[in-house]
Amino acid sequence: MSEYTAPVPGLDAVEIPEPGAVTLVVPTFNESANIRQLLHHITESVPERMPCEVLFVDDSTDDTPEVIREAAEDCPYPVAVLHREEPVGGLGGAVVEGLKAAGSEWIVVMDGDCQHPPSLVPELIATGERTNAGLVVASRYIAGGSRAGLAGGYRVAVSRGATWLAKALFPRRLHGISDPMSGFFAIRRSVVTADALKPLGYKILLELAVRSRPRQVAEVPFVFQDRYAGESKSTAREGFRFLRHLAGLRTASPVARMIGFGLIGASGFVPNLVGLAALTGLGLHYVLAEILANQLGVAWNFLLIEQLLFRDRRAHRRWWDRLGRFALLANADLVLRIPLIALLVDRFGMGALAATALALVMTFVLRFAGTEALVYLP
């Protein structure tokens, strides 16, 4: 069970926005056992002079929406449920629906399982008003905060690793955000660029920080509580989604996508060499072995590129069509390279090494442009 402290002292001195200016957006997936407790805590800890409305965005397959409607009758604040029949984007997709639907100046996003203490809501808003920030993050990783409710060393390590990775990939956008994995934050509606968001899974704060780019960010410490009832809905699948989400955020610009293409291409040497060793070991002639092993590298590259770089552009063609075109380009690249080097050496008098390097760069750029235009565009 969670413990809650009273709303922050000294709050009376802070200018609070107009009544009804705060919407609490709560994503729920089968949380019927937590709803009453959560609404009770909200009623208890959000002062009457800062009336809020609660908007549940629900993807449940159980009776959560009915439980919410019943519990709402005992809640002094307006409570609404937006139930999605066809959920897309998981938790993040649900939150974005809530951000779009909320009409208030401030939106606070919090979990439905009581891990995020509602007693912090007034402080989040007050801090935003005081510092003029567009985004106020409740952080477990600044003085006064803790991750008490993150059960087990394994989850702590994963959370730390994910935070480190995100901060390494987005040093500028996440500057001043110690806990980009937090699911508890307040954001001004004017900051949210709803149409530019492509949420994927749990890390909606990361999505907002990177794509909506709030100019000023503040943080407030908080203690991550234990879940009140039930279990976390996060699975190993969510971990893969997070990596895809990171890749999607990072490769939004063409230059970054080209670098990603190059890195994936370089990683293809590993299956290529392993395949070559295995096939020559089986007694195959090395030329034939090289041709076959190269296809292994092509398949490896195709899978990674599909998953990490062009995920949102796959709909134009069937998978076998894309694979066929991709393999054709990759093999054309190999076939073209030798004559190109010969041309550069014989006709333009270049040294063999320089010619090889130039040919590699040229065929790489051609292959990237070709992949974009011929495989992933209609």
Where do contacts with ligand GDD occur on this chain (CB under 6 A)? 27-29, 31, 57-59, 87, 90-91, 94, 111-113, 115, 150, 159, 181, 183, 202, 232-234
* Residue recorded with tokens 């409607």: 69
Contact 140, 205 (CB under 8 A): no
Does 115 sit near Mn ion (CB under 5 A)?
Answer: yes
How far is Cα of residue 276 from the mean position of the Cα atoms in its chain?
37
Return d(Cα 199, Cα 91) in angstroms, integer. 8
Return d(Cα 202, Cα 185) in angstroms, integer. 14
What does 202 interact with, of Mn ion, ligand GDD, none (CB < 5 to 8 A by kind)?
Answer: ligand GDD
Q: Measuring CA to CA, which residue among 309, 303, 195 is closest to residue 256? A: 309
The one-letter amino acid at 159: S
Q: Measuring CA to CA, which residue among 245, 282, 279, 247 is closest to residue 261? A: 247
Residue 152 or 281: the one with the smaller Cβ distance to ligand GDD is 152
Residue 64 or 251: the one with the smaller Cβ distance to ligand GDD is 64
Does 31 sit near Mn ion (CB under 5 A)?
Answer: no
Residue 181 or 341: the one with the smaller Cβ distance to ligand GDD is 181
Contact 235, 151 (CB under 8 A): no
Which of 31, 58, 113, 129 is the binder for Mn ion (CB under 5 A)? 113
Return d(Cα 2, Cα 225) in angstroms, integer. 6
Write the DSSP symbol of residue 294.
H
**For residue 25, what are the β-bridge partners?**
55, 109
What does 207 interact with, of ligand GDD, Mn ion, none (CB < 5 to 8 A by kind)?
Answer: none
Residue 202 or 302: the one with the smaller Cβ distance to ligand GDD is 202
Residue 228 or 300: the one with the smaller Cβ distance to ligand GDD is 228
Provide the minimum distance between the beta carbon of 164 and ligand GDD in the complex, in angstroms, as a whole number.
14
Residue 222 or 300: the one with the smaller Cβ distance to ligand GDD is 222
Residue 23 or 272: the one with the smaller Cβ distance to ligand GDD is 23
Does 333 sit near Mn ion (CB under 5 A)?
Answer: no
Return d(Cα 294, Cα 291) in angstroms, integer. 5
Return d(Cα 120, Cα 139) in angstroms, integer. 11
What does 131 interact with, of ligand GDD, Mn ion, none (CB < 5 to 8 A by kind)?
Answer: none
Residue nearest to ligand GDD (CB): 183
Provide the minimum distance between the beta carbon of 50 and ligand GDD in the complex, in angstroms, as a whole number.
23
Residue 55 or 91: the one with the smaller Cβ distance to ligand GDD is 91
Return d(Cα 22, Cα 188) in angstroms, integer. 9
Q: Which residues of 209-245 are buried (b: 16+ CB within 10 A; e: fewer)?
A: bbbbebeebbbbbbbbbebbeeeebbeeebeebbeeb
Provide the minimum distance between the beta carbon of 128 and Mn ion in the complex, in angstroms, as a whole number.
24
Residue 113 or 219: the one with the smaller Cβ distance to Mn ion is 113
Provide the minimum distance between the beta carbon of 26 and Mn ion in the complex, in angstroms, as a whole number.
12
Return d(Cα 94, Cα 84) in angstroms, integer. 8
Stretch that binds Mn ion, among 70-78, 115-123, 133-141, 277-285 (CB under 5 A): 115-123
Provide the minimum distance between the beta carbon of 194 and ligand GDD in the complex, in angstroms, as a whole number.
17
Provide the minimum distance between the beta carbon of 7 and ligand GDD in the complex, in angstroms, as a whole number.
22
What does 150 interact with, of ligand GDD, Mn ion, none (CB < 5 to 8 A by kind)?
Answer: ligand GDD
Stretch that binds Mn ion, among 68-76, 112-120, 253-261, 332-340 (CB under 5 A): 112-120
**For residue 109, what are the β-bridge partners?**
25, 185
**Other Cβ atoms within 10 Å of 79 Cβ, number:** 21
Would you tell me which residues interact with Mn ion (CB under 5 A)? Answer: 113, 115
